[in-house]
Every structure is written in C-alpha cells, then in structure tokens.
Amino acid sequence: MMLLPLAKIRLHNDLAWYWVLLFAIACLGIAIYYYLGAVRRLPRRNAVILVSLRAAAILLVLLFLFRPAISYTGRSKRNYRVAVLVDASKSMEVADSIGGRKRLDAARNLLFNGELLEELEDRFSVTPVIFGGKTDLTDKANLRKVKAEETATDIAGAFSSIGQRMDKSLLQAVVLISDGRVTAEGDVLGAARALGVPVFTVGIGSAKGAAGRPKDLAITNLVAGDNAFAGLDEEVTVTVERRGFDESEASGAVVKLSDESGELSRQEVVFRSDETQKEVKLSFTPPAPGFEHYEVEIVPLEGEKITQNNFRDFGLTVRKSRIKVLYIEAKPRPEAKFLRFFLERNPIVKPVYLVLTGKDKAKIQGDVKDLDIGKGRGLSVKDILSFDVVILGDVPSSFFTLDQLDAFKELVDKKGKGLAMIGGYDNYGAGGYVGTPVGEILPVVFSGGTDKGIEQDFFVEITAAGKGHPIFRRIAPFFARSVGGPRSIPPLKGAVRVDAARPGARILAECPLASEMTRDGKRRVVLAVMPYGAGRTLAFTGDTTWVWYRKLRPLGKDSPYEAFWGQMIIWLAGHSDEDSGGTGIDVWTERRTYSTGEAVKVFARLPQEITDAACAVTLPDGRTEKVALTAPRIQDGPFEGTYRPHAAGPHSITMEGSIGDVKPYRFMAGRKYQEFENIDLNADLLSRIADVTRGQSYTITNAKRLPEQVEIALGADAEEREIRLYNTPLFFILFLWIITIEWVFRKRNMLL
C-alpha cells in the first residue's frame, strides 16, 4: 500500500514554533488555574483527566486560530490508465518459479500478496488484461482465478488488441507479466512500438542454465518430412535433452510415437555419462493417404518435475504413392534442363524423361524398370497408360503414332490422370496438334500455322481464379506488384499464342501486354486448366520459367519455381487438396500447416446455385467456430474466407448446413504442445520490448519498484500538496467530542 510521503506540519499564520509552545504552556496554565479549587476535592487521577480535557479544548481553539495544515511533496495524479497484461498460456503452468510455484501462481502472488496491483491502483486507473492465443480485458476477480489454459502465446496480438480496444488518449503505460515464450506469428517489437507508450516487463520462470533447475527430460527438436507415401516406411528423428539429472540418471527413458489409432513405435534412450542430448529415430508406416496428425512422447521418469515438454506433435501429408511423371522433349533446351533437374530431385515424383535423338528415335532416362520399352519411338500404349502425369514439351505431334496420341487421351479420359502441354516452338498449333486427340482435350483453342508466338518479355498476371487454385498456393504474392515497386519474380521471355480458353476451362494466368490482346479485346491465356472425363488437362504457354529458378534459387523449396511445378504435378495427378472425390464440393486451404494467429485463407468450390455459404472449423478441443465465405468474384471461382486460429493443434473444416457431402479437410495450426517446446524464460525478448518502448525490465524479485518507476516515467510532476486540518469537519467534531466528555465528567464529579 502506498504510504503518505514525508510530511511536515505548518501554520498558515506563519508563527514560529516557540510561539506555539508558549501558547500551549499558557493553555495548560489557564486550565490548571481555572480548576485549581475544584481539583483539590478530586482524586489525583480524575484531576489530571479534567485538566487535560480543558487544556485540549483550549488548545484546539488556539490551533483553529493558527490554521494548521500538513504539507508534503507528491506527484500529480492525472487520469492515467495502465494496462496490466498477464500471460495465461500453458507454459505459465510450469512449476519453476520461486518456491517451486507455477509461473501463473507466482504472477498472481506478486500482483495480490506482493501488493503490486494495489500499488499501481493507488497511482493509476488499472485495466487487467489476460492473454494467450486471444486477448481479454478483464477485472481483478477473474484475474485471481484465471487458469493457464491458452494453447498459444501471442504477445504481438495482445499489444495490437489493447491498442484497438482501449482509448489511446488515456492509455499511458503497459505492464507485461510473462515468460516471454512467443508461439504465434507477429512482430512483437513492432506491435510494442505501435502502442506509443512505455512497456514495463516482468519475467516469470527460470532462464536456461539457471542454478537449481528441477529434473526434466525434454524433446528439443523433431525432424520429419513434409510428405510420406502410404505403405512405405517413414522415419522421424527426435532430440531428447536431460536437465537436472545426475550422470547416472535418465538412461532408460522411453520415447514413443503414436497416431489417433494408438502407439506406432517406441525406442529407449541411453545417455552416456557425458551426454545431455541424444537423438532417437522412430520408424512407422502410414497405412493410407490423407493428412495425419502424429504425437511423440517421452514416458515420464520417476522424480521428473517438469513433464509438459515431454511431447511434440507434427502433421504429415500421406500420398497414395510417388507420382509417375513422363516428360517428353524434342531436343535439349534451357527449360527442359531445369525442369528435368527439378523432377529428378523431387521426393514425391518418379520421373521418366524422353528426348528425341534423331528421326523416329528417342532416348529414355529415369525409372524405366517397369516399362515395356519398344524400339523407335520408345513407349508402348501400355507404358503411357502406366503414368500419372504426362508433360509434353517442345515436341511436334508427328513424333507420335496415332495409337500413342489416343493413349494420351485415354490416360486422361478413362484412367483419371493428368496431361499438360507447355510452351515451345513446335507444339500447339505450330506442332500440328489441331484436330488430334491431344488437341481436343487441351483447355485452350489454337490455330495451325507457323506463328512464332509472343516474343516480348512480360510479367505473368494471375487471375482471381488462379489466386484460389492449388497450383498458385502460397506463391501468388510473388507475381503481384509491390506497392511502389517491382514484382519479385522475373518476367517470362515470351510465350505461345493461343486463341482462347475452351468452354469449361478456368484461366489461371494471362499475358497483360496491350499489344497481345485477342481480337475480342481479351488478354492472351498463359495458363488454363480443365477437367476432362475422369482426369484433367493443363495448358501453359510459357517456356522460360527457368529464369524464375535462377533468380529465386536461394529460397530453396520455398522458391516459386519449385512450388509452381510441384503443385502443378500434384494437381494433375489428382493428389491435390482440391479433390472432391466426385461430389463436386471441395474445401481446402492454401497449405496444411500454419502458425497460431496467422491468417488461414479458406477456399470452397460449391455448386453454381449456391450463393451464400459458411464453413465450420473444429478446434483441437472439439469446439467449432463459424467462418463466413464470400461468394466468387468470377464465374467458376471459389468461395473464400479467412480464419485466424488461436488454438494450437489439428483443425478440421467442413461445410455448414445441408450443402452436400464433403470430407473434412484437416490442417495444423502451430503445434499442440508448442507452448512447451522451449520453456526457458525468454528474458532477452522482454528486455528488448522494454528497451524499444522506453520502459524497464524487471524480474519477480525486484518488481516492487515498478509502480514508482512507472510514475516517474510518465512524468508526473513533483508538487507541494497540503491537507488543511483547520478546514475539515474532523477538526470541529473533535472539539465537540472533547467538550462533551468534559461536561459529562464534571457532572459525574458534581462540579456543575
């Protein structure tokens, strides 16, 4: 509780102290003289009481005339509002604070038993805030009973939320009580700066390497692939770390891998005496295609104090099998070189590359052990029908027999596979495909002749349909022009001219050059897709995507080149998330894994008669949340919506109402146990938050100084204050009380 600052008594008549003392002695003398005759008849005790009461009454009258006041130096208390943010994420239930308390209990003890909250309330208007994956303005009663149940820590989101929900003209400071372990997307320091007020942080928990850490086994790293194949063995590597155990302890701990059906694999961990970390490999075999959620757990040891970090989980896309791709070119060229290189190192692809070596002769490379390779043109009809995807490069129709051309059509129409034609000088119309079985199933219309095509550089423009299509998942922003700047992806160096898209085809990308408009004023098609029979076809008129690879190679697997071709092949093979299984209803997201707090773009393809729709997102704890979907902006486009997950773990999406059958689509937001992947106090982040906002950083042991420092930081001006005793009802009531007691006392002693 805040005590009154050092004070002094002063008299408004400005009399010296010795005059006051003289008056007091005089009052005592007058009282004794007045009662001198009466007190002789009274017992000594009663005489003293009577004289004291009269002296006190006379003294109060004199003091009233002297006008006494208590003066002190204080700070001006304006209408300051301070937000106190308390972390209620799951990592705050770790019991490593002072006295073995759980972190949230230690925070509560500081606020209430340590009187930090009361000290702040004595100086400011305080708004308590509880945050984790979401942020709630609350009160003291809820703050006392809140539990550490939030599955994410979004400090940036908490700063942004109070900035939007509280009056910025009144908010003057923020107090953040947390372990600093951020598990959600967001620029924490940027959000702190945006508040425009000082942030004072209080770190809760033990830092890495701190003395006296309790016994603990932790999973500190997990490595698993992004893709797996049904029926084939997969492996996950787990790093286990021991803390606080003696050298002879912790060996014999068991690590096990499970999915929703139960335990799949287990391994024993054996530490050498000098080891604190150990890698463990767990093998398993995914039984069926789909998106699966797996958990790894260290079985707790006797004496282990912290068990929350014994878990890790991950999501894995399990595919039917590796995609068999046949890629055919008439001759070597840069586009073929880079595309072939990509196919050969892509783990989900099983490629075969066929290139002409002379008239009616071809060279076949790749995984050909299961092919019945004939002479001359190389592939039999049986061979062609064994592939999942065929990519026709710069190769004329004259290279193929009619049976082979019919086989390409049957592969799509009857077998439900995919066929693509990419740009070149000797394909499409110039390659003699007009009127052929292949020309009939492509999603574009073209004319015969020797047109050299578009020979001018241009940036690919993605259409609204393209932005929601799996082929451009995650990479559409690369093709957009940044505000006031260039695109991040290089232009193509030309393309094949085609006349238009076929009815039923979807145009995903176009050439924006005004000089290349069609006769009816439309842009030239660069990429179009179309369902055909049981399968699907694609036409891409560009032939220089290798420039994308060369410029953006440092991005690795996140390069738009890698994603463009990889997602195209997955879609052509029918392994894409946008696969309704024949119901005509699809729901999917841009990708399968997200961070908590990150925007998840949801797409749904629904029957044309539907104009209003919503989907339901099922959270890891079984609760559902509704996401409104916006109607398509173009014909045949998908419905779109945005969802920001605030809980960590596996989510699933289904359509609301009676729209039709659609299998649940699953994605991961964060990780179910992400709050415990690193439980060490992140004192560095808390210190940087304080530094960039001109606040201060504290520990739980020195946080009692915080209220005064907040007051100083806010510039509350020092000023002289006084309490005028003579001008208060209490002064008059005290005088009446003394006179009344004296009268009663005199009456009882028969002095009236």
Q: How confident is the model at residue 583 (pLDDT cuts 50, 70, 90)?
A: very low
Q: What is the pLDDT of residue 175?
A: 96
Report the pLDDT averaged over residues 160-172. 88
Cβ neighbours of residue 148 under 8 Å, at least 6 residues apart?
A: 88, 89, 90, 91, 92, 93, 102, 103, 104
Q: What is the pLDDT of residue 376?
A: 39
Helix axes 44-66, 729-748, angle to 10 degrees: 150
Can you read off the two tokens belonging to residue 457? Answer: 């550089």
pLDDT in tens, 420-444: 999 999 999 999 999 999 999 999 9
For 221, other C-beta atoms within 10 Å of its C-beta total 14
pLDDT for residue 752 is more than 80: no
Q: How confident is the model at residue 375 (pLDDT cuts 50, 70, 90)?
A: very low
pLDDT for residue 503 is more than 90: yes
Average pLDDT, the chain: 83
Report the pLDDT averaged over residues 100-116. 91
Alpha-carbon span 232 to 372, nearest angstrom: 25
Alpha-carbon span 540 to 391, nearest angstrom: 10
pLDDT for residue 1 is more than 50: no
Fold of 323-572: Rossmann fold (3.40.50)
Alpha-carbon span 738 to 133, nearest angstrom: 63
- Burial level of 455, CB count in 10 A (0-12/13-18/19+)? exposed
pLDDT for residue 728 is more than 90: no
Cβ neighbours of residue 3 under 8 Å, at least 6 residues apart?
A: none
Q: In this structure, are strands 389-392 and 418-421 parallel, antiparallel, or unpaired?
A: parallel
Q: What is the pLDDT of residue 32?
A: 64
Q: What is the pLDDT of residue 45?
A: 75
Can you read off the two tokens belonging to residue 44? Answer: 């000594």
Q: What is the pLDDT of residue 65?
A: 66
Domain boundaries, the chain: 7-72+721-748, 81-207+680-713, 216-319, 323-572, 586-671
Q: What is the pLDDT of residue 167?
A: 82
For 715, other C-beta atoms within 10 Å of its C-beta total 10
Q: What is the pLDDT of residue 405?
A: 95
- Burial level of 618, CB count in 10 A (0-12/13-18/19+)? middle
pLDDT for residue 146 is more than 90: yes
pLDDT in tens, 346-365: 888 999 998 877 666 667 88
Can you read off the two tokens belonging to residue 388? Answer: 């999942």
pLDDT for residue 297 is more than 90: yes
pLDDT for residue 694 is more than 50: yes
Phi, psi for 490 (deg, rounded to 5)? -65, 160
3-state secondary structure of 409: helix
DSSP 334-385: HHHHHHHHHHHH-TTEEEEEEEEEETTEEEEEES-TT----STT---HHHHT
**Which residue in this structure is represented by tokens 């003392």?**
21
Domain 81-207+680-713 has CATH 3.40.47.10: no
- Amino acid identity at 503: P
Alpha-carbon span 226 to 138, nearest angstrom: 41
Report the pLDDT averaged over residues 143-148. 92
pLDDT in tens, 512-525: 999 999 888 899 99
Q: What is the pLDDT of residue 499?
A: 92
pLDDT for residue 298 is more than 90: yes
Fold of 216-319: Immunoglobulin-like (2.60.40)
Rounded to 5°, the CA angle 464-469-475 comes to 90
| End-to-end Cα spacing for the chain | 49
Domains 216-319 and 586-671 share a fold: yes
Alpha-carbon span 706 to 712, nearest angstrom: 10
Report the pLDDT averaged over residues 64-76. 63
Of the candidate ranges 2-11, 43-52, 126-135, 656-665, the one whose mean pLDDT is the lowest: 2-11
pLDDT for residue 4 is more than 50: no
Alpha-carbon span 647 to 152, nearest angstrom: 6
Q: What is the pLDDT of residue 582?
A: 41
Percent over 70 (pLDDT), the chain: 82
In three state form, how does the secondary structure of 58-76 look?
HHHHHHHHHCEEEEEEEEC
Fold of 586-671: Immunoglobulin-like (2.60.40)
Alpha-carbon span 194 to 188, nearest angstrom: 10
3-state secondary structure of 223: strand
Q: Are 254 and 289 in contact (CB under 8 A)?
A: no
Indicate the DSSP class of residue 637.
P
Q: How confident is the model at residue 142 (pLDDT cuts 50, 70, 90)?
A: very high
Cβ neighbours of residue 166 under 8 Å, at least 6 residues apart?
A: 81, 83, 127, 137
Q: Are 583 and 662 in contact (CB under 8 A)?
A: yes
3-state secondary structure of 650: strand
For 137, other C-beta atoms within 10 Å of its C-beta total 15
pLDDT in tens, 600-653: 989 887 877 788 889 999 999 899 999 999 887 766 677 889 999 988 889 999
Q: What is the pLDDT of residue 457?
A: 93
CA distances from residue 247 to 250, 274, 280, 349 in whole angstroms, order as listed: 8, 7, 19, 47
Q: What is the pLDDT of residue 639?
A: 86
Q: What are the helix (H) ranges across 67-154?
A: 103-108, 116-123, 140-145
Q: What is the pLDDT of residue 579?
A: 47
Q: What is the pLDDT of residue 33?
A: 66
- Amino acid identity at 208: K
3-state secondary structure of 604: strand
Helices (H) and strands (E) in the chain, counts: 19, 36
Q: In this structure, are strands 593-594 and 665-669 parallel, antiparallel, or unpaired?
A: parallel
Alpha-carbon span 382 to 642, nearest angstrom: 46
Q: What is the pLDDT of residue 203?
A: 95
Q: Are 160 and 174 in contact (CB under 8 A)?
A: no
Strand partners, 454: 495
pLDDT in tens, 5-50: 455 666 666 556 666 677 767 766 766 666 666 666 667 777 777 7
Alpha-carbon span 253 to 501, nearest angstrom: 62
